[in-house]
Structures are given as C-alpha cells and as structure tokens.
Homo-oligomer: A and B are copies of this chain.
Amino acid sequence: MDKIIRINMTDLTSKVEAVPAAWAGLGGRGLTSTIVAAEVPPTCHALGPYNKLVFAPGLLTGTPAANSGRLSAGAKSPLTGTIKESNAGGTAAQMLARMGIKALIIEGNPAGDAWYHVHLTTAGVTITEETELVGKGNFAVIDALEARLGKKTGVLTIGPAGEMKMTAANISVKDPDSKIRSHGRGGLGAVMGSKRIKCITIDDAGAPKVEIADPEKFKTAARAFAKALLDHPVSGEGLPTYGTNVLVNILNEAGGLPTKNFTIGQFEGHEKICGETMHDTIAKRGGKTKHGCHAGCIIQCSQVYNDKEGKYLTSGFEYETIWGLGADCCIDNLDDIATADNLMDDIGIDSIETAVMFGVAMEAGILQWGDSTEMLRLLREEIAKGTPLGRILGGGTGSVGKAYGVTRVPVVKNQGIPAYDPRSVKGIGITYATSTMGADHTAGYTIATNILNVGGYVDPLKKDGQVELSRNLQIATAAVDSTGMCIFIAFPALDIPECLPALIDMINARFGINLTGDDVTNLGKHILKVERQFNLDAGFTNKDDRLPEFFNTEPVAPHNVVWDFTGEEIDEFWNF
C-alpha cells in the first residue's frame, strides 16, 4: 500500500498517512506541486516554519521502465519566492518507490541550533541529532554515511551552502557510484537547512517490488519505449556520445551561446570546452564517456571526467555548467571548469545559478574575465566558508547584481537565466519568462525545435510560433516530470510516433487504468495552473513574466537581435 510519510521538525515526530484519493493519480512534480499548493501559505517566509519540503518519486519510478528513476523535490523557493519543483537522478527515488512512499513531507522548523539526521526504513522514521557531519562537504557526508549505514544506503544531503541557507544551495542525491546528482535550482538546499536536516538516509531492505497491474502489457510497452529512446539521434547517439555538452558547438554556431555575461552570442574558446573535446579528453584519460544518473537509464548522457593523472574529477558534467563557467565567464579551460563542478557538488550549490552568478561577479569587477584561478578560490575560500563575499555569491545571480549595483543581471524571478540566449533563440525566452519557477530551460525546452529540429522546426530568430511552442512543451514537461522520467525522453516523444503511446501504456499497465493522450495533456495543464495559482497567491503577476530590460535594449551578436516580445504577446502563453 502506498503511503505518505509526514515528518514534523518542530516536535521531531513523524507519522504515516494514507494517500488521499485526490493524490493517488499523481507522482513526481504533479504531486509535490499539489502538496505545496495545498499546504504551504503562498506568502510565507520560504525559510520559516510554514514552508514544507516535499519529495516524491514519479508514477513509474521503481518499475523497469527505462529512465524512470528521477526524484522530485518541491517547496516554496527562497530564491524566487515562487513554487518550485526540481528533479534529480540518483538512487533515492527508486528506493522510496519500492518502499511505497509516494511522498515525504517535511514540515516545521526546530527550535535551537542542533542539526538532524532523518533515517527511513521499512520499519519507519528515526530522527536523531547529527553532530559528526555538520559543516562537512557532500562527498565526505556520503562516505561517512556509507561507512555508518552500509554501501547501499540512499542519501539526500546538503552541503555547507544549505547549512548556511544560501539561496543558491541545492540538495544532493547519491548516485549509483556514490557520487552526486542534484536537485539544483531554486535553493531547496536552504529550505532543508532551515529545517536543520543535514541528511536523509534511506534503507529499503525488505521493501517489496513495485507492483504492476498488467505485467505483460507493461513489458511490451517498456520495450517499445526503450527502442524509441535508442532510435532517436539525440537520445540514442548525440547525448550518449558527447553528453549534454554536445550543445556548446551547436549553440555557438547558432549564435545563441551567451558569452561574457550575455553580451555576445558566440565564444572564441568554444572548441576548448565543447562536447567533442570533452569526449576525447575523457577517453584519453580513462574516464567514462557514458554514464547513467540512475539505474535503468539507457541514454547515459553523463560521464566520468578524470584529471590529467587519470584521477576522478567530476561526473554529471553538464552543458549548462560548462557554458556558464566557460563562455559566460570567458574561461576556456575545461579542467578548471570540471574542478569547479566538483567543488560545487561538494559545497552543495547549484552549478547553473553559480555559473551565471560568476558572469555578473566578473562584470561587477569582483574577479577578472576568464580568471578561473580566482573563481576556484572564491568557491573554496569564500562560498564554502560563508565569508561575507561568499554569502553574496552564494545568494546567486540576483544577489550579486543587487550588492554591486549591476544592471545587466540575467534573471527571471531572481533565478539565473541559463545557457541559451533568448534574443537569438526566442522560444526559450518565452519559457524563461513564463515558467512558474523563474528562468528554467528544462520547463519547456524549445531548443529541441528551435535548434535541434526535433518535433519540427520553429525559426529561433522569429517571433512566430514561439509562444505556442513553449506552451506545448511546458504542458508536456509538467506531465513528464510527474512520471519520474528524465526530460530527455522528450526528444523521441516529439519525433517517434510509438514513444508517447508506449509511455502512456506503461502508466496504464502499472496502475490498471486507461489514461489517454488527452488525459496526460490535461494533467500537464492542471499542474501548470496549480503552480501558477500558487504564484499569483504569493503576489506574482504578469509583470514578473518578463525578461530583464537589457535584453530589450542591447542587440546581441552575431545576429544583432533584441528580445522583441511585448508583454501582451508573452501573456498569451497563459491562454489555455
């Protein structure tokens, strides 16, 4: 029987609850957003006792469905003030699913300065004071917890950034190699820190398998689904070979690779940091060019990146991080970027927010353009230690902009704008503007259709069709984020006719139900509207669905285009 686990950190108690009927058909983002919207006062202080931190595996998580092992985390974001869902790979989602935990709701803030360790087993929840791990980086935490509780233990943890409630802090999830995946965006690590939980461990010993109502139907659908993933050139070839970093050269070519804090659309040093170079470097140094963030991933877009001595440097080394510290900060040294990636994992800070932040910090004169030595020092000596400068930097892009009076600050709803220039890839600008969670490329990844010719083609430089494109993708993404599926299944889903029906068939076979494609679309619409209503109730308006002023006034080379959508045109997004 599926259940809800509710942990109250004010009095350090927990209880098991039945799943309300209204939540039964939900998982992942659909469930975290529904719970946050139902139980968190939209105007509450995100770090106060009225915010709640919710974890939920997806509808298909724990089944043999390919790429279904992602975990959603939700709360009111201390970075944006909006509702937030952030999903990540790792081992925790599948363990929770096997244990029948549909959602873990953490509420209340304890009095006092103690830190806590929450441990979940099939027997229940224990909450104990944690002293040994306080102040430790995430890698040390995972090592120590494995030594304490066994190698198989699932781990969710915050680093120093989360302990210090920095608004760029993330929540780290142990991956199958005891390395780190992240609930990156929106500062959810600060919410976990405000509840004074250093780590959550999971022991699923004795948990049953996830039940499947119609195993035969499931198997057939799962096979068709996996085939689609492997057949598509992006998910079957581009991503496994070069990782997400395949995009550096593609975006550079398209003139949409934001460079030097979004002042140019192409980076001179792109060849030194691109996916092709990364692939060859990894191969030469004996790393892994393919790697999955969770068991059952068949795309394998991750990798293990070693240093010159062949020693592990980082994994889960993503395009957006490489773009941000690379092109946007004018750093063309991939090893330094990899070192920074590893540090950010250890500190527990969102690598996208932090990379965009460094671009603004360079504009503010805190460090020089391209100075990766100083960038690494700032991570190690300032952010990790919580010095005043570290606090400013750890607050993310908007924080640095405010503290130093910078006007070129690429944020929407105070969240840093990622790796695609909205002036030269206009669809993604609509996503940044309208996403319920601040600037977020994953909310509606129009790059697929604007740049990669997936799901058709919409000219990235023209306004026509962009609002509709972003809307359709955001609706679909909200639904996909509820299944526990990786967002990259969208590529085959958009191009291969068998893919989406197979996904729906798997859900139907899992639960013994009969969802149609329309049901899935309606679920996506419903989730977006629930999230939007939370934001409206928190005081957001259409005036927040805008890009920063400089995109309207500063043309970006090489196309020399500006962001030219009117407010009314953007607001059309919500007409559904």
Contacts and interface: CB of A to CB of B under 8 A. Distances in A.
Contact of A399 (B164, B403, B407, B544): B403
A189 to B, nearest CB: 11
Contacts of A389: 388
Enumerate the 5 nearest inter-chain pairs by beta-carbon distance, A residue then B residue, closest first.
A165-B405, A539-B543, A388-B389, A391-B403, A388-B388
A404 B546 CA distance: 28
Interface stretch (A45-53, A285-293, A301-309, A460-468): A45-53
Contacts of A194: 405, 407
Give the interface centre of A537, A539, A550 by most chain B CB atoms within 10 Å: A539
Contacts of A387: 388
A538 interface: yes
B403 A549 contact: no
Nearest to A48: B407
Query: Quick one: which of A47, A407, A544 has the most chain B CB within 10 A?
Result: A407
Contacts of A405: 47, 78, 164-166, 190, 193-194
A537 B546 CA distance: 13
26 contacts: A42-B543, A43-B543, A43-B546, A43-B549, A45-B407, A45-B549, A47-B405, A47-B407, A78-B405, A165-B404, A167-B402, A193-B405, A387-B388, A388-B388, A388-B389, A388-B392, A388-B403, A391-B392, A391-B403, A392-B403, A395-B402, A395-B403, A399-B402, A399-B403, A537-B543, A538-B543
A549 B190 contact: no
A123 interface: no
Contact of A539 (B404, B537, B544): B544
Given A388-B387, A391-B392, A44 B403 contact: no
Interface string A7-49: 0000000000000000000000000000000000011110110
A541 interface: yes
Given A45-B407, A388-B392, 9 more contacts: A43-B549, A45-B549, A48-B407, A193-B405, A388-B403, A395-B402, A395-B403, A399-B402, A537-B543
A548 interface: yes
A546 B43 CA distance: 9
Assign chain A's interface to a size class.
35 or more
A388 B190 CA distance: 21
A571 to B, nearest CB: 13
Interface string A158-175: 000000111100000000
Nearest to A538: B543
Interface in A519-543: 537-541, 543
A543 B43 CA distance: 7
Contacts of A538: 543
Nearest to A50: B549
A82 to B, nearest CB: 13
Interface string A534-565: 00011111011010111000000000000000
Interface of A: 42-45, 47-48, 50, 78, 164-167, 190, 193-194, 387-389, 391-392, 395, 399, 402-405, 407, 537-541, 543-544, 546, 548-550
Contacts of A78: 405
Contacts of A44: 549
A551 to B, nearest CB: 12
Interface centre among A47, A391, A549 (most CB of B within 10 A): A391
Nearest to A539: B543
Nearest to A544: B539
Contacts of A543: 42-43, 537-539
Contacts of A540: 539
Nearest to A364: B391
A536 to B, nearest CB: 8
A47 to B, nearest CB: 5
A450 to B, nearest CB: 26
A436 B164 CA distance: 33
B388 A549 contact: no
Nearest to A394: B403
A327 B98 CA distance: 56
Most B CB atoms within 10 A — which of A50, A78, A402?
Answer: A402
Contacts of A544: 539
Contacts of A407: 45, 47-48, 194
A394 to B, nearest CB: 8
A42 B542 CA distance: 13
A405 to B, nearest CB: 3
A48 B548 CA distance: 11
Nearest to A109: B407
Contacts of A402: 167, 395, 399
Contacts of A47: 405, 407
A42 B541 CA distance: 13
A382 to B, nearest CB: 8
A432 to B, nearest CB: 16
Contacts of A388: 387-389, 391-392, 403
Nearest to A398: B402
